[in-house]
Each structure stands twice: as structure tokens, then as C-alpha cells.
Chains A and B, each alone.
Chain A
């Protein structure tokens, strides 16, 4: 399917990612049931919700792994499914590391860089590894690393091509304190540089510290969506607990 790309470069205030009644069904089951939001450059949306709410499915649609069933979604102005161009603008972090265990961190990140079309990626690979504090173990095999270190490499891998949109699905899972600090610093740096971020997490405090917007998702819908100035950690925690109770 050809991607429709806006003819002008994305202006500073145009949304990096937007969704209008985005829906994804699997047979009779509505995993994502009409989600709408909009994120401009430098904004961060934190999404909370119980297991099975559709958060991962929503991220997989935005990452180009699944096609939307109905509704619209745009990444960098490209309507999904947007093919290679849309995917090139996105970086995906998951709680699966998506790494090749027999290769080293450097080889994994370099392979990813080449997949995204970066030639002579050496410096960028080193930079990505350094920012996640993995440069000193860059040549060991991934198999020999702890879970936390593997997650750090996975994050470096997702960032090496300087995506405009970062989709982070439980990125803190497996990270130790040092790794978590490195990740938070990295995400904040990206936000200042204009990257849009959607972060799915169970850690409300951590998530809200990065967010400019927040939403609670349940049964495929955003049952609550607020901007930064109206966010309050305790009311969000309460809304999250309500959603957990409602999902049974």
C-alpha cells in the first residue's frame, strides 16, 4: 500500500504521532477499540492500564508490526500502514530484548543501524552504547550479559537511528537502578531534542516524571486522558486501581 506523505516538511507544531478512533481487532476480539490522541515533538504520553488492556497492541500498530483495522493513525505525517518510511521514523523498545544472543552488543546495534540505512555507523553505535553505559561490555556476547544489561543494549539498539517517535513498552523491566537512571536521562534528553515518546509502564511515578500527557487504558480504550498540568500522581494511581478492579 503506498504511503501518503505530506508534501511539506513536518512543521514544529505538527503532531509527530496522532491517532483518530484507531481500532485493531483480532477476529471477534477488539484489542484496541477506538483510541484518539495527538503528540507533538518533545511530548511524552504515558499510558497505564491493566494487562490485556491493549497497550502493547496499540504500540505494535504504531510500530508497523500490525495493520490498523479501522480508524486512522499517522506517524510523521505518514498514514499507517505507512510501509518502510513510517517504520524508519520509529524506535521500538519492548520487554523482549529483540537481540541476537550469539552476537555482541556492538554487532547487534550496528546491524540495526544498517537496517535503518546508516552507513559508517561506528560512531553512532558507540554513542548509543555509551549513553546506556554499555560501552565497556560492547564486545562480549549478549548471552554472557545479565538481563538488565541486555535490556540496556536493546534500548541502545532502538535509539541508534535517531527516531522521531520512540515507543517504549515496559522499558524499565529488568533494569537495575543504574540502568533505570540511564534510561530516564536518555528519554529526557530525547524529549528536549524534539523526539515524541509513548511509554507504557506499570510504574506510575516513573512514567509521570517523564510525561507531558497521561492516559489510562482499559479494554482497548483510553478511559482517561490528561495533559501535564492536570496530572496528579495520586488521582492517576486511583484511576489505575479502578481500572484494574473493573477488569476483574
Chain B
């Protein structure tokens, strides 16, 4: 997916995916080797530099899906639908990364794999559910126009759901305080860590754009091929 096999250009390394890939590699390397260890959490804290940027991208991707959905229902431009489809498929990957790195980080730090009181983690879980519903819904509808409209509705409603999940879990956590070992409060980051975080954030965002662009091209080609095939009215 990263290497575009376009017939009209000779094989040369495509720019955006290469830069994105290198940025991510660089950010990870910096996080692993060139950023100081956090005092209380030790080495496990380094997952933070993947977990947080992935979460940022996961939510940004869905925000874009929701916006594209709304504008699609207004303008009915199928390119918006193709973008939403692409952003959703890329978003689910980043969301999965968050849901895997979350427990890997939580276990050594909090002593538990999962935290039902943690608003961000549960919201991300529900984001994942909505992404998967979105993708399955798209797979279950034949007609492109209907598929686009249905997906758009789910995109918008899903965006409305997340704040309610947030609120519900927050309310739940205040009423049922859980015994936690050493729950970290929001860290005030020393500048080196902040820089690493921001670099990682930038790298992941570039990766998002690289993936989405590639996926979008695939969607455009696929739809063009389907349109060219004989249609049975």
C-alpha cells in the first residue's frame, strides 16, 4: 500500500509515504534511545510516545469522517464518501494500535490490563466499535448511493455518541472509585519528552495522510472500474 504501482511513472520511491515512514522510524528511535526515562514509570512509559500520537490520529481520523459525512449529505459529492471510507479504514488501524499499546502500558503501571474507569481508553474502545460497524455496514450495502448515505449517517451519529460515552464513564468513575496502584496524573512533561511527543505526533499524522491518500486512490480506481462494467438496471 505504501509503494504506489502507477503505470505512468517509472519505479521511483513515492515521496509522501517515504517521508512518513522515515519520520515514524525516526520518532520511535528518538523515543527509545534519545529520550530520558521517566522517573516513576521507567521503561514502560516509552509506549506513551506511540500510544498518545496514535490516539490523536485515531480521533482526528474519525472527526474527519464525521465532517466528510455531513458535507456529503449536503453536497452529495461522491469524493467525500471515498475520503470518508479511506479515513475510516486508516483510522481503525490507528485505533487498534491504541487499544493494544494501552493495556501494554497499563499493566506495568496500573497493575491491570484494562481500566473501565479510564475515560480515554473506553472512549477509544467505542471509537473502535463504531469504526468496525462503519466498515461492516459499507460491506453490507450493494448500491453505492445508498452505501454512501448510510455510512454518512453512521459517521455523524457515531461522532455524537463519543461524548456520551465520555460522560458516562466519567460519571461511573466518580461514583465507583477503583483501587489503583500508582495511577499517574497528567504529567507535566519536561521539554525533551515534549519534543519527542510532538515529533511522534507529526510523524504519525504524516503516516495517516500517506495511508489515506493511497487508500483514496484505490477507492477511486475501484469505483471507476465498477462504473465501467455493464450495469443491470
Residues of A within 8 A of B (CB): 26-29, 31, 51-54, 56-57
Chain B residue total in the interface (Cβ 8 A): 9
Q: Verify A27–B145 contact, CB threshold 8 A.
A: yes
B233 touches A54 (CB 8 A): yes
Chain B binding surface, main DSSP class:
helix
Q: Mark B212-230, 1 if CB is under 8 A from A, else 0.
A: 0000000000010001000
Q: Are the C-beta atoms of A27 and B227 separated by less than 8 Å?
A: yes
Q: Mark B191-233, 1 if CB is under 8 A from A, else 0.
A: 0000000000000000000000000000000010001000111
Tell me, rounded to whole Å, the shortest Cβ–Cβ distance linking A217 to chain B: 11
**Complex Cα distance A53/B223, Å?**
22
Contact B145 A26 (CB under 8 A): yes
Q: How many A-B residue pairs have CB under 8 A?
A: 21
> When the two chains form their complex, are residues B78 and A27 in contact, meaning their CB atoms are under 8 A apart?
yes
Q: Which residues of B contact A27 (CB under 8 A)?
A: 78, 144-145, 223, 227
B107 CB to closest chain A CB (Å) equals 49
Q: Are A53 and B233 in contact (CB under 8 A)?
A: yes
Residues of A within 8 A of B145 (CB): 26-27
Output the nearest chain B residue to A55 by Cβ-Cβ distance: B233
Given A29-B231, A52-B231, A54-B233; 15 other pairs, CB 8 A cutoff: A26-B143, A26-B144, A27-B78, A27-B144, A27-B145, A27-B223, A27-B227, A28-B227, A31-B233, A51-B233, A52-B232, A52-B233, A53-B233, A56-B233, A57-B233
Within 8 A of A (CB), among B59-81: 78
Question: Nearest 5 A-B pairs (CB), nearest first?
Answer: A52-B233, A28-B227, A27-B144, A29-B231, A26-B145
